[in-house]
Structure 1
Amino acid sequence: MTLPETAPNDVTAGIDWARDDHAACIVNGRGRKVATTTVEHTASGLRELVGFLRRHGVDEVAIERPDGPVIDTLLAAGLSVVVISPNQVKNLRGRYGSAGNKDDRFDAYVLADTLRTDRTRLRPLIPDRDDTVALRRACRARKDLVKHRVAVANQLRAHLRNVFPGAIGLFRDIDSEISLTFLTRFDTQDRADWLTPQRLGGWLTKQGYSGRTDPAVLHARLLDAPRGATGIHATTQAAITASYVTLLLTLVEQIKILSTQIDRQLDAHTDAHIFTSLPKAGRVRAARLLAEIGDCRARFPTPESLTCLAGAAPSTRQSGKHRAVGFRWSCDKQLRDAVVDFAADSRHANPWAADYYNRARARGHDHAHAVRILARAWLHIIWHCWQDNLAYNPETHRALQRVITQQNKAA
């Protein structure tokens, strides 16, 4: 979908989004300011914004972000929305002066005038369906909670290193259910000293511990670790331990709740079969891929358009005889994170992915670069499956079958 050659009614608008208010500017076909306004970020303010645009015959609006209440309001009013990234706006300021200062009203003018002059390069925003947007928000919320859990686990680990070192290496993960349950019951060195291999084994049985490590081995880990704080000092530090443990228990529980919700939303989505069929995609990872790519096929007319937005395609810079290929900084960070996370793990379940990654490493690329190379290859496959609404089928993946054949011959 493209914009018409000339703007309807020969006017375009730009809106600079802010937290508390939004600046709007309207320009005519000659780039002259027709009107400007600033509205508050309230329901009445957004209605006032739509009325302002309608009074001046505006049908197209340029803005810096692709989602949120302002976008929803503009789309609901039947306006065409064009997204121009903040990085582009920063570079475009130089067209109108050398100072390059940030000013909301000036940025609104830059957006409106760019929509007037660069129409052939711009595309109107085509929003995803509501179920895709809801799934994206749930996946991002879960990712944020996981980051918080990791941060709190690191804080707990650092705290225990000073007051109760034996609890750190007792179980594999400090934020696992059994580890947090242990710290709830044995929060100090004094309480842990009561344990014997038999007592620890009995307590683990009551907790339904499913680990394969013998209680005697776990008890030996407690004894081998440096002694922690004891007495009154240990009692005062136990309150800090309890705070971290309580916070981690809450985060773990909320992550489980969100994971269950994501699972239900994924089952109800019409594109679920495409992404769940990918190797090592699982449920949450498949949901993230689906949510970040979206459901609007027109947004990515070619595989290259998807790989560039995902940051999996390198950025080439050339001047005269000098040519440099480097990391693509400007991209959708959320999409890149989802694709790279999937690609990195796919090599453990797919021989073609493993071979692709290993050949990249053999050429001298580090792990991160090799994973991005693999991610670019996967995105071409995902794009074709997505466009054709087909699940990934290893039997029809010819490159995979060639690798399997070569491995069988070698064996």
Structure 2
Amino acid sequence: VARKKSDAVDAAVLANILRTDMAAHRSLPADSELVQAIAVLARAQQDAVWDRGQAHNRLPSQLREFYPAILEAFAQHKHGLCSREARTILAAAPTPAKAARLTGRRLQALLKQAGRVRGIQAEADRLHEVFQRDYLHQPPQVEAALGRQTTALLRQLNTACQNANELEEATAHAFAEHPDAQVIRSFPGLGSLTGARVLAEIGDDRTRFANAGALKAYAGSAPVTRASGKSCVVMSRKVKNQRLAAVGYVWAFVSLTKSSGARAHYDRRREAGDRHVAAQRNLFNRFMGMLFHCLQHGQLYDETKAFPMQPLENPATIAA
């Protein structure tokens, strides 16, 4: 094989493929301008969330080397170091020495600056007590240098948090203007942001997917069969829309607490031997089929139709 390559030959090969097998290929989706805008915003917001996660992971790793007090202070907080309170206090006191010098009134002022409105005094007292404890520490010059590095990492985290919040607001606003938003939001587990991510990846061109199976394959929720000779293996798809698969995992997980039918379906899959991820993927696969039907017919999600009552396996035993 000569392994020769040129753009002109590649273009000719692609043109010949379409010239001879045009019927075997689908045209590009004709999505509306609004959906294209939602796709730009939703993907940018998801990238910003991933960037925020990376920045958040780097900061604790840095703080473990010299600043265990701040980690202990916000260990039980819902958002950890991503919370506005933690970032505000860390900006004012990037080293343990500066944190130990913070007074109760100064901590109250910082909490108010971060937007806290309740339990300010109690929280300030708790933080003051944590910062006054004895911890292992670095030499003063090393601690000061690590504090400067922490300030730089904190700026990255603040920027990532701000970008994620602003893009989330813009994405939700654009999604609310789309006519499919009402149908998508009617599904349990889908909100403005997750719904926008779903719409961004599937689009609003009704001819894009020939049937529900095509949509499920695109999302990666449907399994794939690999058959060769006497071997036949059914496995999860690796080639898929990764963004749609990511939001599908969140969708299925949240729906477990929002829909009794979804929870029952998940439990049945677990009892059948599926692991957690496989059971959630099966639930996501079912949701994708429902979503395809609802979008095609303009119908809202109906729990009674989506998950009808399952017949008892042994009514006589139950009655006894």
Shared fold per TM-score greater than 0.5: yes
Amino acid at match of 1:292: E
1:34-45 alignment runs, 5 A limit: none
1:134 paired to 2:37: yes
* Structure 1 unmatched ranges of 5 or more: 1-97
> 1:232 maps to which residue?
141
- The structure 2 residue matched to 1:157, chosen from 52, 56, 60, is 60
> 2:300 maps to which residue?
391
Contact 2:226 2:234 in 1 (8 A): yes
Contact 1:189 1:230 in 2 (8 A): no
Contact 1:275 1:286 in 2 (8 A): yes
> 1:79 maps to which residue?
none
- Separation in structure 1 between the aligned mates of residue 156 and residue 149 of structure 2, nearest angstrom: 11
1:180 paired to 2:87: yes
- Separation in structure 2 between the aligned mates of residue 136 and residue 275 of structure 1, nearest angstrom: 15
Cα distance change of structure 1 residues 350 and 193 upon mapping to structure 2, 3 Å threshold: same
1:223 positional shift: 5.2
Contact 2:220 2:238 in 1 (8 A): yes
> 1:294 maps to which residue?
203
Q: Deviations over 1:160-195 (max 9, x none)?
A: 111212112322211211110010111111111124
Cα distance change of structure 1 residues 104 and 356 upon mapping to structure 2, 3 Å threshold: farther
Secondary structure (helix, strand or coil) at the match of 2:149 reads: helix
1:17-28 alignment runs, 5 A limit: none
Amino acid at match of 1:324: V
Q: Deviations over 1:313-337 (max 9, x none)?
A: 1110122332111121222222222
1:102 positional shift: 5.9
1:11-410 alignment runs, 5 A limit: 103-171=6-74, 172=77, 173-195=80-102, 200=107, 203-205=110-112, 207-209=114-116, 214-222=123-131, 226-229=135-138, 231-394=140-303, 396-399=304-307, 401-402=308-309
- Separation in structure 1 between the aligned mates of residue 260 and residue 180 of structure 2, nearest angstrom: 25
Contact 1:166 1:228 in 2 (8 A): no
- Separation in structure 1 between the aligned mates of residue 49 and residue 228 of structure 2, nearest angstrom: 43
1:393 positional shift: 2.9
Contact 2:223 2:235 in 1 (8 A): yes
Rg: which structure is higher?
1
1:281 positional shift: 1.2
Contact 2:255 2:262 in 1 (8 A): yes
Cα distance change of structure 1 residues 204 and 228 upon mapping to structure 2, 3 Å threshold: farther
Percent identity over paired residues: 30
> 1:6 maps to which residue?
none
Secondary structure (helix, strand or coil) at the match of 2:72 reads: coil
- Separation in structure 1 between the aligned mates of residue 4 and residue 117 of structure 2, nearest angstrom: 61
Contact 2:290 2:306 in 1 (8 A): no
Contact 2:294 2:300 in 1 (8 A): yes
RMSD: 2.8
Contact 2:48 2:160 in 1 (8 A): yes
Cα distance change of structure 1 residues 278 and 162 upon mapping to structure 2, 3 Å threshold: same
Contact 1:166 1:227 in 2 (8 A): no
Amino acid at match of 1:287: A
Cα distance change of structure 1 residues 151 and 206 upon mapping to structure 2, 3 Å threshold: closer
With 178-187 and 164-173 compared, the bigger mean Cα shift is at 164-173
- Separation in structure 2 between the aligned mates of residue 370 and residue 224 of structure 1, nearest angstrom: 46
- Separation in structure 1 between the aligned mates of residue 2 and residue 68 of structure 2, nearest angstrom: 56
TM-score, normalised relative to structure 1: 0.68
- Separation in structure 1 between the aligned mates of residue 133 and residue 278 of structure 2, nearest angstrom: 41
More helix by share: 2
